[in-house]
């Protein structure tokens, strides 16, 4: 580890880091506060733990410790049938069906023959056509 310059700041709280609180995240490599002395005041913007696999200390900043947001599952609001997609785009049902047949917009055909579209795919079709 290199000696921290007085101008170096924590990647989490952006406050200056003192030598006794200097730590680097093993995940992202950023500098963060981790007080390594019980006799001196200092803040903790991360943790250190023991990796039983590697038998080593693992330093992690609070940004890397946060769980990534769970992806939102698409809801039925994101699924449009042919007439709904046509209303949303301003295209005729025939134009939209032709675009689907030509592979210009992703779609599914149900067992009953209905066309279903993802709202994002329909919006992307509009952007590529320049009408959105």
Reported pTM: 0.47
For residue 29 the two structure tokens come to: 């490599």
Where does the pLDDT of residue 132 fall: very low under 50, low under 70, confident under 90, or very high at 90 and above? very low
Q: Using one digit for the tens of pLDDT, what is the confidence trace for 46-102?
A: 999 998 888 899 999 999 998 766 666 667 778 899 999 999 888 999 999 999 999
Per-residue pLDDT, 64: 92
Per-residue pLDDT, 88: 85
pLDDT at residue 103 greater than cutoff 50:
yes
For residue 47 the two structure tokens come to: 């943790």
Q: How do the domains of the chain map onto residue ranges?
A: 19-65, 76-129
CATH class for the region spanning 76-129: mainly alpha
Q: Using one digit for the tens of pLDDT, what is the confidence trace for 37-49?
A: 989 999 999 999 9
pLDDT at residue 108 greater than cutoff 80:
yes
Tell me the C-alpha to C-alpha distance, in Å, between residue 62 and each of 11, 21, 33, 120, 122: 10, 14, 10, 33, 39
- What value does the mean pLDDT take over residues 93-112? 92
């Amino acid at each position: 580890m290199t000696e921290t310059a007085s101008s170096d700041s924590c990647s989490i709280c952006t406050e200056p880091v003192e030598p006794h609180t200097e730590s680097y995240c093993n995940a992202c490599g950023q500098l963060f506060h981790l007080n390594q002395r019980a006799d001196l005041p200092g803040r903790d913007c991360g943790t250190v733990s023991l990796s039983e696999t590697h038998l080593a200390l693992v330093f992690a900043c609070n940004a890397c410790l946060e769980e990534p947001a769970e992806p939102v599952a698409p809801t039925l609001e994101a699924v449009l049938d042919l007439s709904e997609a046509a209303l949303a785009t301003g295209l005729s049902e025939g134009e939209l069906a032709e675009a689907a047949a030509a592979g210009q917009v992703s779609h599914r055909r149900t067992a009953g023959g209905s066309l279903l579209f993802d709202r994002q795919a329909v919006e992307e079709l509009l952007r590529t056509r320049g009408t959105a």
